[in-house]
Amino acid sequence: MTDLNGKQYVCVSCGNPVRELYKKYSNTVKPTHCNKCNQITDKYIEVEEFIILIDALLLVSSAFRHMIYNGKFKLYWKISLVVLLLESFALCRQNREDGVNTALYEKGFYMSALQNLGEYLMITVLLLFITVILGVGQLSQVSLASLTLTILKVVAISNFSKFFLLPILVWGSNTTDFGRNLHYMLVTGHHLCSLVMAYNVVGNIGKHHRCLSILLVICAFIMKEYVRYLSAFQMVL
């Protein structure tokens, strides 16, 4: 695979590069099959975007591959913007309810959005660094521009987990502090799992490097969360 950002598609089941997703015969369209796994190349080509998004939230690897390689990502960029706004509102509201980070809260919702955007860019840079260091899988075979765009898509998809913040925003006043903290922990855990799976799926990393890549992705995620904690602590001071 020479260019993950070009017109070359992949099989959503195994990640094998393919030339086309379907063939046209007069008035009918027939999906192609992968030469490697003999499965339908892309079962999502005639599926509603909403269903694909649900599969991504359920951590279905084939949905990740379709969204990044075979589908039109324009819609998912818009969803990423909605997720950014949702997470920023959750951060702003949490700062107010917990009675901490008051300086950050006073600067308002837009400062929270800038903070989250900075965290997105930071995790992207960290994953880029990890990919260059590893030098394995399909991600190591592309140009820097294509690699950067691919990592941005991975980060955007993993951030869809923040949709699960919506219930605590709606019913947060009807639960305890323990319930809120538990909910945030579960959302963070799902986000980490989504990030790890999306990175390994699109990179098509072999088994002998998979454990190392998972460990490094987790370390990058922890580093990002630690920077968030430090910034919040400085705001208190």
Give the max Cα distance, the chain.
Answer: 70
> In the prediction, which pLDDT does 58 show?
93
> In the prediction, which pLDDT does 139 show?
65
85 is a domain residue: yes
> In the prediction, which pLDDT does 105 show?
52
> In the prediction, which pLDDT does 137 show?
58
153 is a domain residue: yes
Angle, vertex CA 183, rays to CA 77 and CA 82, nearest 5: 20
Domain count within the chain? 1
154 is a domain residue: yes
> Over its length of 237 residues, how does the chain's per-residue pLDDT go in tens digits?
444 444 578 899 888 888 888 887 767 778 888 888 889 999 998 888 889 999 999 999 999 999 988 888 888 888 989 998 888 887 777 655 555 455 545 566 777 788 888 888 888 888 888 887 776 556 666 778 888 888 899 999 999 998 898 887 777 677 787 888 888 889 989 999 999 888 888 776 666 667 777 887 888 888 887 777 676 555 545
Enumerate residues 6+ apart whose C-beta is below 8 A from 183: 164, 167, 168, 175
SS3 40: strand
Helical pair 144-158 and 109-134, crossing angle rounded to 10 deg: 130
226 is a domain residue: yes
Q: Kindly report the pTM of this predicted structure.
A: 0.80
40 is a domain residue: no
Residue 188 sits in which domain range? 73-236
Give the gyration radius of the chain's Cα atoms: 19
